[in-house]
Amino acid sequence: MNRIHIYADGSCMNINDESRAGWGIVIVHGDDGLGRGRGTISEEFYGLVQIDPGSDDWKGALLASNNTAELTALLEGLRWVNQYDGGEEITIRCDSMYAIEIAEGRWKAKANLELVDVVRAALSAARVGRGVELNHVRGHEGHRWNERADHLARSAAEGKKPKGLSFW
């Protein structure tokens, strides 16, 4: 049975003295995890980290930061897993050890506790009846699908439309 790889990344930047954080995820079928771009992207998603508790899209982030972006990207990957009805095992790869260790409960969060609780609950739900692994991938090292997730996250944070897949 093939494994699905999900690459999740976050990005934060200051634009006109305002912090904006974006997230991006890339779902890849047939990837070998080595970073050479094997496999095919079946879906990709990206957006801004919502920090307004009154918003319907708020997931618990209280500020736009790199950490909330990384956690939100991981959460969006887990939300995809929880809606997916296929039987494949899934690896979610992040370049943030912070997001992985917080999600796994090995590190204690000091801020954005509601977001952390939502991420941990989503990970727990994703693992019911399915093999779901979280793995670290080195960021900004030329890993094709991680670079794509980074591009999506950065584009969201900048308020720009990402380059098309043909660029990759």
List the CATH number of the domain containing 109: 3.30.420.10
Contact 64, 12 (CB under 8 A): yes
Residue 36 has pLDDT above 80, yes or no: no
pTM of the model: 0.93
- Give 35's pLDDT tier (boundaries 50, 70, 90): low
Structural domain contains residue 56 = yes
How large is the average pLDDT for residues 15-30?
89
Q: CB-based contacts of 101: which residues, under 8 Å, 6+ apart?
A: 107
Q: Tell me the C-alpha distance between 62 and 135, whole Å.
A: 26
Q: Is residue 83 part of a domain?
A: yes
3-class SS of residue 149? helix
Domain contains 168:
no
Number of domains in the chain: 1
Tell me the residue type at 66: N
Is 48 part of a structural domain of the chain? yes
Write out the residue range of the structural domain in which residue 138 sits.
Answer: 4-163
**Do the bridges between strand 18-29 and strand 4-15 make them parallel or antiparallel, or are there none, so unpaired?**
antiparallel
Does the pLDDT of residue 94 top 60, yes or no?
yes
CB 30 within 8 A of CB 39: yes
Closest CA to 26 of 11, 49, 5, 47: 5
How confident is residue 76, by pLDDT bands cut at 50, 70 and 90? very high
- 27 found inside a domain: yes
121 within a domain of the structure (yes/no) = yes
